Structure 1
Amino acid sequence: MQPTSTWRHWLPSLPVLQWGRAYNRDTLLGDGVAALIVTIMLIPQSLAYAMLAGLPPEVGLYASVAPLLLYAVFGTSRVLAVGPVAVVSLMTAAAIGQHAVAGTPAYWAVAITLAFLSGLMLLAMGLLRLGFLANFLSHPVISGFISASGILIAASQLKTLMGVKAEGHTFVELSVSLWSQLGQVHGLTLAIGAVTVGFLFWVRSGLKPLLQRLGMKPRPADVVAKTGPVAAIAVTTWLTWALDWQGQGVKIVGAVPQGLPPFTLPLWDLGLWQQLLVPALLISVVGFVESVSVGQTLAAKRRQRIEPDQELVALGASNLGAAFTGGFPVTGGFARSVVNFDAGAQTPAAGVFTAAGITLASLFLTPALYYLPQATLAATIVVAVLSLVDVSIFRKTWAYSKADFAAVLATLLVTLLQGVELGLVVGVAVSLALYLHRTSRPHIAEVGRVPGTEHFRNVLRHAVVVSPQVLGLRVDESLYFANSRALEDRINDAVASRPALKHVVLQCSAINDIDASALESLETINHRLREAGVQLHLSEVKGPVMDRLRRTHLLQDLGGRVFLTHFQAIDQLAPEVAHA
């Protein structure tokens, strides 16, 4: 074997090696333009989300460098932009608020520890290929949780927009505290915040069409529109300095340290780790679900795909990188990833260029942020998170599934009234409880033959032919411990009400699995039917299910037979029905 072959054999199969080999000048141009746009967007977002998490604004910049670099090496999405996001920042503040006072070095140290634990969990889940665990978070629950978090985040920023002091971690606490402070509203601060909010909303929807009407091409117009938050920061910062708004009571960001992200270590306190395990797990799962959802959506548009388990590894590495460079928990952001996609990013190298841009901003631009009003950053957060609120999910779930509507409503209300962690746990619990309730009462249809065909359909929905001596039942669920008793009851009722019954045929076309409890139920059904002079038959049993049944005594003790199709069963047991 040649040395190069040996090297390739031992070389890790990293995603960066797949897209790196085909990198060219055109790809570089697309990644460079996208990185410029995302950097402009990410700088104000990073500052704002760090303050939302209760951390100094520069921490947001620190959390946007190493994670981007590490995701470029390990991530499978070509356009996902990793960094601080609103929901994870809120969950971070809720998780560490009880361990330290916001804004203190101790608080920052706990945030670093939380990122470290989250990174370890994500990395372990990826190596163990546990990406499927995210499936327990249904879309309605995630939608309700993110919508409630958006409302909660917006409410938490009202105190900064109003220039008052308000406390509370729930929507009710915040509302009551803000109401009591209405008489203390700082007029100039409120004006800055309100005008900035209005401007940013207009920039999102109105600036690009206006520029195009003025003759600008779509691509440059889109780039200019994305600079709206930067323009708001620049203008309000200059006005604060020029008009001495600080002296009139407007709160500013103040001195932002200048320099590269520092090397930091988590706190090696096992007691603290135990208290942070559950919050770290919730942050990890929510971040992973949000990241994978965005990544899969954008990858599908280019006929690409991502690997969920590898994404766990990439996000784990990104959070570990954040922990060792003074950051806090991060994940793939929806807004910046969409912007990255629309701007023409072709590979994760766009993230590398974005990290370089953030580094330059940390080195040279932070002194210019001294006079930045905190109300401007609050306005940036409010505009960003209100786009997360999905009101339509309530109408859709109410019309389609009352159970999903109940899960959405429960998640939203508990998140608003009790906090983000309990809200997410309750949402998952309600979803699982509703699933167990629904599957414990499976749809069991009596089927008959559609005349002139070999198809069998529900006797309540179609004009079909049946025999009084044969009962055909189709169970539309897998059989497991929670619903096996329902099948027993249905068959017992049929035997008691049909004196002429001689055969029961279970059509198993919808049964994907039979657990041990359900197997015992089938054995009990077979025994009772035999004592009553009735034979139990099976039809259309799927291969994997049959493989497991062959390892049991059920098929040996079965009173009847196993038929390949339901039509064959009826042809043998009730020929007058099969040929009617």
Structure 2
Amino acid sequence: MNLRRYLPILDWGSRYGRETLANDLLAAVIVTIMLIPQSLAYAMLAGLPPQVGLYASIAPLIAYAIFGTSRTLAVGPVAVVSLMTAAAVGNVATQGTPEYLGAAVTLAFLSGLFLLAIGLFRLGFLANFLSHPVISGFITASGLLIAASQLKHLLGVPAGGDTLVEIGAELAGSITGINLPTALIGVAGLAFLFWVRRGLQPLLQRFGLSPRTSSMLAKAGPVLVVAASTVAVWALDLGAAGVRTVGAIPKGLPQVTLPPLDPAAWVALAIPALLLSVVGFVESVSVAQTLAAKRRQRIDPDQELIALGASNLGSAFSGGFPVTGGFARSVVNFDAGAETPAAGAYTAVGIAVATLFLTPLIRDLPNATLAATIMVAVLSLVDLKALARTWSYSRADFAAMAVTILLTLGMGVEAGIIAGVGLSLALFLYRGSRPHVAIVGRVPGTEHFRNVLRHQVETVPGIITVRVDESLFFANARYLEDTVYDLIAKDPSIRHLVLMCSAVNEIDASALESLEAINARLKDAGVTFHLSEVKGPVMDRLQRSHFLQSLTGEVYLSQHEAIQRLKVQTLTQKPSDPGFNLGADI
């Protein structure tokens, strides 16, 4: 067994040097500063104690450094996965109880097992069946749902709900109970964070800082809000005025934890864990591939599954919740100059130091500040303009995106992602079942054949060429049969039908039976059935069947050759020949 395949650290670790170490350490410092408030915020979003977010940012990063193939992906708690965690765990336990934390640990453990199994069996391609419009719609809806769910912390009012309607109704009923100091902190923090994203970098550049340095400082904006709001709460004793804070956070590293052996909870969390694994993998791999392409590097999706599985198992065994690769922190890691996954391991050390020594400093950190941090992060994921772009390009994809958004907002994240998976598969099967089929002719003066409806082409009387632009399989085999029979029925003068297979990459057993049926019925109708431009692998499989022995016509290397030879046969064939005894009733 090639250990380097499953342990990429053996590859890049053998070339690790001082310069790489310096770059990774710098990136780790920057990401650590960014990750501390994010970890606390996403733990709150998942309905968990804030220290759990820190725990989920230590062991997973070390595990990914060992098994991951992306040089710059930063693993940890992310908004969408945290929301899905809250939705799944909330169905089996009450928030704030030990059972709730145990269920979150179980969810991370199950997610890790699913990811690990899918990676070991190299089934990462299954994630390709989730269409981009569906994923985009789900992330947009989740961003809106997360932002709405944080308004209660931003305003200091009690409100719950799993859907946009429920959250809106709860907020409307609590609007008179807004805590003014909390609202001032939350709104001010929100406004500052939005300004930081757009205005701080140009301001710093006007003071002479380089674009890279100013960008790094701008991305550390949440740390300024955390520090300022924490000092304000402590100095003005705003806790006495009703401002809710994260409170006392236990110091120390996480203890080794095992998921509770509760069969009922495991069964209830199995499907949510699988859905969470798929969404986390798609998000993580998308980010990793984008960043790798910028440096002309590559990642191995199946090994990424193993790495994410190990990361989630690490989170579970250290008392954390599900994690995946985050977009914002990965971009920061990339921009900060991280060269290897070791930067993530150094970040884990930084988080560990924070849990040992810095937790007393964030006791007075207001929940409103964490809510503002979450809202700014997730609203950047909302892309409502994608609806208009998708509508103008594909009505079917727009319908899938719109339904995913509406179901996620109206029924919750689990219903939204299940509907998204179902719609993606339904669209795939629908499109595959109705392939583009064209009658083609020769472009004058060339050997190229194009659609007769789109180009000025030459055709030969008595010969019709059908090009199918799809592999032939069980879902579209009958459609091809019906198309061929309709063409023959409409034109009794046809003596030869050529199926142009230039776009056919595979013919499965169902499609083979359909080809045999077409061959038999065309023979009864006095029409000779031919194939052209059959690809090598497809021809190899056809030669292992009896189809070629029963084929009434020939298999031609090119469509041009087919027309040249059949034109001669058609011109020399007499009206009394069998080929002219066309059956009218087919």
Which TM class, normalised by the smaller chain length? over 0.9
Distance 2:552 2:140 in 1: 55
- 1:171 aligned partner: 164
SS in 2 for 1:447: strand
TM-score of the superposed pair, with normalisation by structure 1: 0.96
- 1:60 aligned partner: 53
Code of the residue aligned with 2:55 in structure 1: it is: Y
- 1:359 aligned partner: 352
Distance 2:527 2:504 in 1: 23
Aligned partner of 1:207 among 200, 204, 208: 200
- 2:381 aligned partner: 388
Distance 1:404 1:182 in 2: 38
The answer to whether the 8 Å contact 2:68/2:304 transfers is: yes
Matched, 1:552 2:545: yes
Distance 1:459 1:222 in 2: 55
The answer to whether the 8 Å contact 1:465/1:577 transfers is: no
Distance 1:9 1:104 in 2: 45
- 2:66 aligned partner: 73
Distance 1:243 1:232 in 2: 16
Matched, 1:482 2:480: no
Matched, 1:572 2:576: no
Distance 1:39 1:423 in 2: 33
The answer to whether the 8 Å contact 1:571/1:577 transfers is: no
Distance 1:158 1:577 in 2: 77
1:519–1:243 distance in 2 versus 1, CA, 3 Å: same
Code of the residue aligned with 2:524 in structure 1: it is: E
Q: Give the alignment of 1:305-454 within 5 angstroms.
A: 305-454=298-447
TM-score of the superposed pair, with normalisation by structure 2: 0.95
Distance 2:444 2:570 in 1: 9
The answer to whether the 8 Å contact 1:121/1:281 transfers is: yes
Give the Å deviation of 1:575. 4.1
- 2:244 aligned partner: 251
Give the Å deviation of 1:92. 0.3
Give the Å deviation of 1:398. 1.1
Distance 1:499 1:262 in 2: 81
The answer to whether the 8 Å contact 2:465/2:499 transfers is: yes
Distance 1:494 1:375 in 2: 68
Report Cα offsets for 1:378-416 as digits up to 9, x if no partner: 001000100111123212211111111111111111111
Matched, 1:180 2:155: no
The answer to whether the 8 Å contact 1:449/1:577 transfers is: no
Bigger drift between 466-475 and 429-438 goes to: 429-438
Report Cα offsets for 1:416-465 as digits up to 9, x if no partner: 11111110111121122122222222221111111111111111111111
Code of the residue aligned with 1:471 in structure 2: it is: I
The answer to whether the 8 Å contact 2:216/2:332 transfers is: no
Give the Å deviation of 1:497. 2.1
Distance 1:166 1:293 in 2: 34
Distance 2:5 2:429 in 1: 42
Distance 2:470 2:162 in 1: 42
- 1:295 aligned partner: 288
- 2:90 aligned partner: 97
- 2:580 aligned partner: none
Code of the residue aligned with 1:27 in structure 2: it is: T
Report Cα offsets for 1:4-44 as digits up to 9, x if no partner: xxxx9878852111111111111111111111110000000
- 2:453 aligned partner: 460
The answer to whether the 8 Å contact 1:469/1:502 transfers is: yes
1:11–1:371 distance in 2 versus 1, CA, 3 Å: closer
Give the Å deviation of 1:60. 0.3
- 2:119 aligned partner: 126
Distance 2:194 2:49 in 1: 26
- Alignment RMSD (CA, Å): 1.5
Distance 1:435 1:12 in 2: 32
The answer to whether the 8 Å contact 1:570/1:577 transfers is: no
Q: Give the alignment of 1:257-268 within 5 angstroms.
A: 257-268=250-261
Distance 2:570 2:57 in 1: 70
The answer to whether the 8 Å contact 1:65/1:356 transfers is: yes
Matched, 1:217 2:210: yes
Give the Å deviation of 1:522. 1.0
The answer to whether the 8 Å contact 2:462/2:570 transfers is: no
Distance 1:64 1:214 in 2: 35
Matched, 1:533 2:526: yes
Distance 1:467 1:235 in 2: 81
Distance 2:544 2:114 in 1: 38
Distance 2:503 2:428 in 1: 17
Distance 1:187 1:243 in 2: 14
Code of the residue aligned with 1:176 in structure 2: it is: A
- 2:27 aligned partner: 34
- 2:189 aligned partner: 196
Distance 1:44 1:577 in 2: 79
Matched, 1:517 2:528: no
The answer to whether the 8 Å contact 1:256/1:367 transfers is: yes
SS in 1 for 2:139: helix
The answer to whether the 8 Å contact 2:6/2:67 transfers is: no
Bigger drift between 323-332 and 459-468 goes to: 459-468
SS in 2 for 1:21: helix
Number of equivalent positions: 571
Distance 2:338 2:563 in 1: 60
The answer to whether the 8 Å contact 1:120/1:320 transfers is: yes
- 1:151 aligned partner: 144
Bigger drift between 65-74 and 205-214 goes to: 205-214
The answer to whether the 8 Å contact 1:37/1:226 transfers is: no
SS in 1 for 2:397: helix
1:573–1:361 distance in 2 versus 1, CA, 3 Å: same
SS in 1 for 2:502: coil
Report Cα offsets for 1:172-204 as digits up to 9, x if no partner: 110111111111111221111000000011111
Report Cα offsets for 1:189-221 as digits up to 9, x if no partner: 111100000001111111121111012233432
Percent identity among equivalent residues? 65
Distance 1:170 1:302 in 2: 41
Q: Which runs of 5+ in 1 are unaligned?
A: 1-7
1:219–1:500 distance in 2 versus 1, CA, 3 Å: closer
Code of the residue aligned with 2:256 in structure 1: it is: F
Distance 1:312 1:173 in 2: 35
The answer to whether the 8 Å contact 1:78/1:346 transfers is: yes
Distance 1:33 1:257 in 2: 28
1:222–1:449 distance in 2 versus 1, CA, 3 Å: closer
The answer to whether the 8 Å contact 1:150/1:388 transfers is: yes
Distance 1:13 1:486 in 2: 44
1:432–1:369 distance in 2 versus 1, CA, 3 Å: same
1:175–1:214 distance in 2 versus 1, CA, 3 Å: same
Give the Å deviation of 1:478. 1.4
Distance 2:191 2:160 in 1: 26
The answer to whether the 8 Å contact 1:466/1:577 transfers is: no
The answer to whether the 8 Å contact 1:117/1:277 transfers is: yes
Report Cα offsets for 1:485-525 as digits up to 9, x if no partner: 22222222222222221100000111111122211111111
- 2:278 aligned partner: 285
